[in-house]
Amino acid sequence: MNKLITLEEAVAKVQSGMTVMIGGFLAVGTAENIVDGIVASGVKDLTIICNDTAFADKGLGKLIANKQVAKVITSHIGTNPATIEQMNNKELEVEFSPQGTLAERVRAGGAGLGGVLTPTGLGTMVAEGKDIITVDGKEFLLEKPLKADVAIIGASVSDEEGNLIYKGTTQNFNPLMAMAAETVVVEAQEMVKVGEISPEMVKTPSIFIDYIVYNK
């Protein structure tokens, strides 16, 4: 199966109303070209699952600044004034999830687990409306798994089958999100032939990748 598709084909995978995971940390490791394409496409009412909402003029923050997002599930919004303004104006629903908890919820979604138990957030707004489970006399929040219709991830290197390498800090959330969506699209900065990546260097195996975008 040839997984290579055009940028335009990748953008078309995201439709209004979908839940979309977007990898990266403050836009580092984010598939910038695909995100820009989604901004230009005009789709709306998206639910975005992400570590943070980046910046109003960079990364997935552009989607929020352009008012294409109805809800965001994230750990941090402080670097994007557009997110804060829309949240305060009740134009955007923000579900805060502590960073480690967010990662575990995505991991649980990808692994088919029913959720994770964590003490993080007990006694705070994070616990509102959530089940509290007692284990060996200690209380834990039940945090439910997260899954998405589409995951948009960025990779430093991909082979033609979609085996991926992430350099430096670019792997933030990308490997987890590649396991937790119905459709996974990767934007690769470099493309190599199958066999050119040593197996021990692969961070995301090709079995998780549906489509590859490579802009030469």
pLDDT at res. 87? 97
Instruction: Please name every residue paired with 25 in a beta bridge, in sequence order, or none if there are none.
Output: 28
Residues 6+ apart with CB under 8 A from 79: 26, 52, 53, 54, 55, 61
Q: What are the average pLDDT values for consecutive 10-residue runs of the chain, which has 216 residues?
A: 93 98 94 96 97 94 96 96 96 95 97 96 91 96 98 97 94 96 97 95 97 88
Looking at residue 63, its pLDDT comes to 97
What pLDDT shows up at residue 1? 73
What is d(CA 181, CA 147) in angstroms, rounded to the nearest whole number?
A: 6
pLDDT recorded at residue 126? 87
Question: CA triplet 39, 45, 188: central angle to 5 degrees?
Answer: 40
pTM for the model: 0.95
Helix or strand (DSSP H, E) at 127: none
pLDDT at 208: 97
CA torsion, points 50, 55, 58, 64, in degrees to nearest 10? Answer: 60
The pLDDT value recorded for residue 178 is 97
- pLDDT tens digits for 120-139? 999 998 899 999 999 999 99
C-alpha 156/C-alpha 108 separation (Å) is 25
What is the pLDDT, as a whole number, of residue 215?
A: 75
Q: Are 132 and 123 within 8 A, CB to CB?
A: no
For the chain, list the domains and their CATH numbers: 7-113+146-214 (3.40.1080.10)
